[in-house]
Amino acid sequence: MQILIILPLLIPLLTGCTALIRFREMRQLAALIGLFLNMLVCLLLLLETQVNGILVVQAGAVRAPFGISLVVDSLTAVMLSISGIIGFAVGIFSVTIVDANHQRFAFYPLIGFLMMGINFAFVTGDLFTLYVAFEVMLMASFVLLAVGGERGQIEGGLKYVTLNLISSTIFLIAAGLTYAVVGTLNMAQLAARMAEQPSPGIGTVLAGLFLIAFGIKAAIFPLFFWLPASYHTPPIAVTALFGGVLTKVGIYAMLRVLMMIFPQEIMFLQPLILTLAAFTMIIGVLGAVAQTEFRRLLSFHIVSQIGYLLMAIGLFTRDSMTGAIFFMVHVILAKTALFFISGMAYELGGTYKLKKLGGLSKRAPGLALLFLFAAFSLAGFPPFSGFWGKLLLIRAGLEAGQYVIVAIALGVSLLTLYSMLKIWNEVFWKAAPKHDADEMPERKRLSPLMMAPAAALVALIIAVGVLAEPVFKLSESAAVGIVEPAAYMQAVLAPWTGE
Amino acid sequence: MLLVFAITAGVIFASGVYLMMRRSMVRLIIGLLLVSYSVNLILFSVDDSGTRGAPIINSAEVEVMSDPLPQALILTAIVISFGVLAFTLALGYRATQVAGTDNIDTLQSTDREI
């Protein structure tokens, strides 16, 4: 089953190559098939890791620490599956909502390349290849963000590009210095060697550099300003994909690199990380409360949710890691669903401004119900997925004795609920503003191709909430893989060292 | 030798950051360029400067063979930064067209309430 590991890279690459097809409809169909197959392969990989354990491929059959290893363990498989699902949902959603003007410029092929970069970042077991994967992902996202060339897109794009390039630069410096200190770039060998020799000082510097590099990508507190400045500018399907998955790739990189390779340094940096987490949560949610534009409000919520994940990283226990992975699955689903819903509200109301929207609970009761479920899940109501994610995180925080951060997390939850209620009141509950009634051109109807992906994601949210046990088991096995990386090292290195 | 590398890389990095702080779009892009150059220099200094033999079996003593990996890393990094910079230049050019100015401070419309 070795070929299975390569397929999450090959299929999106072929999806990207559909740019060569000349006719738009055929291109679209081919790309959708590609995204569907990608999702299927990722889910198969998840099944495979649960049955057979960690899967490893050495690229070109070069021995482990010298070549490039592709590794799929539980965490990787979970991330692959969830991003595969989101990729396909966004593909379907884009069919009708992204106008022909945007689709003409290789919209679907770019999504293919973006998915390739994301999958590559998850699959790789090599620090430098992770950098290359980030660049592939960023390049595709740069173009997706800027295509269309409206003023807002160009401005947002410039900020996004500049800050992400700085982040890549810091990542590259950190990777180079890690090689200078430890003498390898293979993550399994890095983890083994860092565990053998407790290195004071220099290890902390490296961990700090990685924290900054991944922190910019994940949008943590003092480094998040590019996100609300750029995420609301591209077409809504692109925003949904970015908002759902891209920042979480940064969190995944933190889990994989910081947690697995520098566990001692994390303990040293714990107060700093927890402080940053608290600020990320608070500033993010306060920013969201202050916004009056649908997409910008949701963009600030991305930042706030990243704070919860950072808190789990800061606590650094097995339970908090389990909570982090569960929460990540939940937040990717909920966030993408909410962005989908904002896009459909725009289709109906013709604007993203909360003041000018209104009356959608009468016009589109199905949409209102979807929003209610997704918003309750984000705020952490039972029986939705967000409740379990937050419960696990809060419990891990209480067990670790970090009462301040727990109190902050709970307070932020309340504010999250408040800002969601604000959207509900403005967009769905209140009557449609009078002065707009005569300007509104015609009563648009929502295409089933828009409703279906959003409904599917909300169904998944409910399913994760109701059937929390299997997802919890999965998160736990992924968390164990990070906290106790012995199995990971064994799988990557053992066939070559002879034991 | 290592000290020379460190100081040079530091000065280039600092110049890049200084240029990025300016208001002009062109300076921002040149700043990004300089920073990526300085990283290449840092990667280059990872290898011991005393070893300058080609890393090919039977062509040099093992002790003086240079480490090929940092060079491979630099090569990859150069190619990537080349591509990214080409895109950034195009984006910057488009931004000056759309905004009608080279001044980055005027590009604030996405951060303001509309």
- Separation between Cα atoms, residue A240 and residue A227, nearest integer Å: 13
Q: What is the mean pLDDT of residues A272-294?
A: 92
Q: How confident is the model at residue A171 (pLDDT cuts 50, 70, 90)?
A: very high
CA distance B102 to B97: 9
Amino acid A443: pLDDT: 60
pLDDT at A475 over 60: yes
Residue A361 has pLDDT above 50, yes or no: yes
Sign of CA dihedral A313, A314, A317, A320: negative
DSSP state of A63: -
Residues 6+ apart with CB under 8 A from A155: A229, A233, B95, B98, B99, B107, B108, B109, B110
C-alpha–C-alpha distance, residues A392 and A399, integer Å:
11
Rounded mean pLDDT, A12-39: 89
pLDDT at res. B113: 58
Which chain A residues are closer than 8 Å to B70 by Cβ? 176, 179
Sign of torsion over alpha carbons A68, A19, A250, A181: positive
Whether the predicted pLDDT of A360 surpasses 90: no
3-state secondary structure of A201: coil
Q: What is the pLDDT of residue A155?
A: 87
Chain B nearest C-alpha distance from A233 (Å): 8
Residue A155 sits at the chain B interface (C-beta within 8 Å): yes
Of residues A128, A138, A353, nearest to B73 (C-beta): A128
CB of A353 less than 8 A from some CB of B: yes
pLDDT at A203: 86
In whole angstroms, give the CA distance from residue A140 to residue A15. Answer: 13
- Minimal Cβ distance to A179: which of B28, B46, B77: B46
Find the CB nearest A151 among B20, B98, B113. Answer: B98
CA distances from A434 to A182, A327, A342, A355, A427 (A): 67, 41, 21, 12, 14
Q: Quick one: pLDDT at residue A487?
A: 87
pLDDT value, residue A146: 86
- Sign of the Cα pseudo-torsion (A103, A109, A112, A114, in order): negative
Per-residue pLDDT, averaged over A183-203, amounts to: 83
Q: For residue A119, how far is the Cα from the chain centroid?
A: 12
| Sequence-separated (6 or more) residues with CB below 8 Å from residue B96 | B25, B102
* Paired tokens of B25: 């779009």
Task: Map tokens 């090689």 to a residue.
Answer: A179
CB of B30 within 8 Å of any CB in chain A? Answer: no
Count of C-beta atoms within a 10 Å radius of residue A494:
13
Quick one: A243 exposed, middle or buried, by C-beta within 10 A (0-12, 13-18, 19+)? buried
Query: Nearest Cβ partner of A154 from B32, B70, B95?
Result: B95
Of A149, A169, A176, the CB nearest to B35: A169
User: Chain B interface, mutation test: which of A158, A171, A226, most B Cβ atoms within 10 Å?
Assistant: A158
Nearest Cα residue in chain A from B103: A155
Q: Which residue has the tokens 């947002």?
A: A156
Strand partners for A70: A57, A124
CB contact under 8 A, B109 and A292: no
pLDDT band at A281 (very low <50, low <70, confident <90, very high): very high
Nearest to B113 among A156, A173, A292 (CB): A292
Cis amide prior to A383 (ω within 30 degrees): yes
Q: Please give the Cα distance from A119 to A249 (Å, whole number).
A: 9
Q: What is the pLDDT of residue A496?
A: 61
pLDDT band with cut points at 50, 70 and 90 for residue A100: confident
Length reported for chain A: 499
Note the pLDDT of residue B46.
84
Residues A322 and A174: their CA atoms lie apart, in Å, by 27
- Mean pLDDT across chain A, nearest whole number? 89
Q: Between residues 167 and 226 of chain A, which touch chain B (CB distance below 8 Å)?
A: 169, 172-173, 175-177, 179-180, 185
CB pairs under 8 A between A and B: 91
Nearest CB to B91 within list A138, A157, A293: A157
Question: Is pLDDT above 80 for A165?
Answer: yes
Q: Which of residues 79-108 of B touch A (CB under 8 A)?
A: 80, 83-84, 87-88, 91-92, 94-95, 98-99, 104, 107-108
Task: Say yes or no: B58 contacts chain A, CB-CB below 8 A.
Answer: no
What's the DSSP call for residue A186? B
With beta carbons under 8 A apart, name residues in chain B contacting A180: 46
Note the pLDDT of residue A441.
Answer: 53
**A467-475 long-range contacts, CB within 8 A, separation 24+:** A468/A385, A468/A388, A471/A326, A471/A329, A471/A385, A471/A388, A472/A322, A472/A326, A472/A388, A472/A392, A474/A46, A474/A50, A474/A74, A474/A78, A474/A325, A475/A78, A475/A322, A475/A323, A475/A325, A475/A326, A475/A329
A228–B73 C-beta distance less than 8 A: no
pLDDT range class, residue A498, cuts 50, 70, 90? very low
Kindly report, residue by residue over A230-266, the tens digit of the pLDDT: 898 888 999 999 998 999 999 999 999 988 888 888 8
Share of chain B above pLDDT 70, in %: 94
Nearest partner of A492 among A17, A9, A55, A48, judged by Cα: A55
The Cα B97–Cα A498 span in angstroms is 62
Quote the pLDDT of residue A439. Answer: 55
Token pair 């990214």 in the structure block, residue: B84
- pLDDT of A179 over the 80 cut: yes
Q: What's the pLDDT at A354?
A: 85
Which residues are registered as beta bridge partners of A55?
A: A72
Look at B80 and A169 and tell me if their CB atoms are within 8 Å. Answer: no
Q: What is the pLDDT of residue A497?
A: 57
Q: What is the pLDDT along chain B (114 residues), one digit of tens a residue?
A: 788 888 999 999 999 999 999 888 999 999 999 999 999 999 988 887 676 778 888 887 777 888 888 889 999 999 999 999 999 999 999 888 888 888 888 877 777 655
Using only C-alpha atoms, chain B has a radius of gyration, in whole angstroms, of 19
Task: Give start and end residues of each alpha helix (H) in A291-364.
Answer: 294-315, 318-349, 360-363
Tell if the CB–CB gap between A172 and B114 is shorter than 8 Å: no
As a whole number of angstroms, the distance between CA A77 and CA A42 comes to 7
- CB contact (8 A) between residue B88 and residue A161: yes
CA dist B91 and A97 (Å) reads: 25
Structure tokens at A414: 């309340």
Tokens of A461: 């949210």
| Predicted confidence (pLDDT) at residue A122 exceeds the cutoff of 60 | yes
Q: What is the pLDDT of residue A218?
A: 92
**Does ipTM top 0.85?**
yes
ω into residue A470 within 30 of 0, thus cis? no
- Res A491: pLDDT: 86
- pLDDT tens digits, A367-394: 999 999 999 999 888 889 999 999 999 9
β-pairing verdict for A69-72 and A55-58: antiparallel
Residue among A9, A232, A18, A11 at smallest CA distance from A106? A18
What is the predicted pLDDT for the residue at A499?
A: 41
Question: Six-digit token pair at A182?
Answer: 């430890």
* pLDDT, greater one: A228 or A19: A228
Q: Is B12 on the interface with A (CB under 8 A)?
A: no
Asked if the model's pLDDT at residue A31 lies above 70, the reply is yes
Q: Say which amino acid occupies A359.
A: G
